[in-house]
Structure 1
Amino acid sequence: MRDFFDIDSIFFTVLGYPMSYLEFVGTVVGALATWWSSRANIWSWPAGLISVTTFFFMFYQVQLYPDMFLQIFFFITNGIGWWQWTHPKTGEEDQKSELKISQLSRQQFGLILIAGGLATVLFGSIAGNLHEWFPILFNKPSAFPYLDSFTSVMSIVATFLLIRKKVETWYVWLLVDAISAYMYFVKGLKVVGIEYAAYCIIAILGAYHFTREYRSYNQPAV
């Protein structure tokens, strides 16, 4: 079982690419979780718990430290999201007695993006110095301190928006997934990179599905 969490423990090799157990499980279960999220399916949350656990160990071993810490946040918020979707407040429930899809104002969305940019600068500077401050834990410098911090910060933003079923979550995820795909390809995590490129498509579909359902609430019953 210990070998499962070692990125050098190979499950199989395809087209010359060695697939570790960690990358395989995280990729497959993560893809299911993302697809279910785009369809507002409650099973996205428990699947997400499994995926983020595997990615935590994988990101540590490839020096994507902000992404590693992000998985802890994801683990907690997957539990919160699971609870909030199944226990909406009075007036916030849909026909399935789950949380309704809603939308932010332009001002709210703009303020969130500005806050995300400022947080990126802060966390990027921290990530860039982890190997100097804590050399025992982080024996190599962060691969992409600012770019990785940006995707981590905006993933946090997107997750909170998803917990509240906001339409804008998918626009943020689209940006995060596109940048993440680039980083993973550069770090040699090709399958994860392909997965995140596919997530871009799912984000577009998620935006379409959420927008269509949100607009259906305002249509008079026939």
Structure 2
Amino acid sequence: MVEKNLSAAVIEAYQAMSWWELLAVVLALAYLLLAMKEHISCWYAAFISTSIYVFLFWDVNLLMESALQIYYLAMAVYGWWQWRHHQNSAQDLAIHRWSLKTHGLVWFALCGLTLGSGYWLQQSTQAALPYLDSFTTWGAVITTYMVARKVLENWLYWIIIDGASVYLYIDRELYLTAILFVLYVVLVVFGFFQWYAIYKQQPNTVK
């Protein structure tokens, strides 16, 4: 029964997807795999993928997610510039960690932003799942900045955000994107351990 349900879900995802969604998914996956290897070309894949998702999310009334893609476009340029500017230089941008205090402040701000924008969307727009949409959007805003600055814990943030996004995309019938984010949840775990191994090998690093 489980295998039958899984097969039905895969077939449903294939039938529901558009070629634009397929291209966006492939490029989004390429971004993650390249980011795991600290390869600067990950930002090219991110830029093109998010350009497509701007329209896909708007079309299914995920307004915050659509707006998030505009931010992603800017962050793709910023991330590329950061990684390129510090590449092979004395001021190389190294993988580093944030303090518990910083993480606490970040989550406090994330909860406040989620409640504020979620309430506004619920009262003023036709946005679907306004609070969940807001949480995944603001969480992704913060975590994408962490990737650009090579903060190690970004991978742990992504586990929570990507997991919440799976339900969001299933609800909006973006099944292929939902499957992508299930895969993301698995890959970000590997991404964390890969970056952590690099982090431990860096000089002057507190293990």
The corresponding residue for 2:11 is 15
Partner of 2:104: 110
Aligned positions, number: 193
Deviations 1:153-199 (A, max 9, x none): 00001011111000011111111100001111122111100000000
Offset, 1:91: 4.7
Unpaired segments of 5 or more residues in structure 1?
A: 1-13, 94-98, 132-140
Residue aligned with 1:207, SS: helix
Match of 2:155 among 139, 145, 170: 170
Instruction: Give per-residue Cα distances to partners, 1:24-78, cap 9 Å, x unaligned.
Output: 1111111101111122111110110000010000000101000000000000011
Residues 201-220 of structure 1 aligned to structure 2 (within 5 Å) = 201-218=186-203
Partners of 1:67 and 1:50 lie apart in 2 by 16
- 8 Å contact kept, 2:155–2:189: yes
Secondary structure at 1:40's aligned position in 2? coil
Structure showing the higher strand proportion among its residues: 1
SS, match of residue 15 in structure 1: helix
Structure with more relative contact order (C-alpha pairs < 8 Å, separation 6 or more): 2
* TM-score (normalizing by structure 1): 0.82
Please state if 1:73 is matched with 2:86: no
Taking structure 2 as the reference length, the TM-score comes to: 0.88
Alignment correspondent of 1:126:
120
Counting only pairs closer than 5 Å after superposition, residues 1-222 of structure 1 correspond to structure 2 as 15-16=11-12, 17-88=15-86, 91-93=90-92, 99-131=93-125, 141-218=126-203
Q: Which amino acid counterpart does residue 132 of structure 2 have in structure 1? A: L
Can you give the 5+ residue segments of structure 2 that lack an aligned partner in the other structure?
1-9
Tell me the distance in 1 between the aligned counterparts of 2:22 and 2:167: 19
Q: Secondary structure in 2 aligned to 1:70?
A: helix
Counterpart amino acid of 1:125? Y
**How much is the aligned-residue C-alpha RMSD, in angstroms?**
1.8
More helix by share: 2
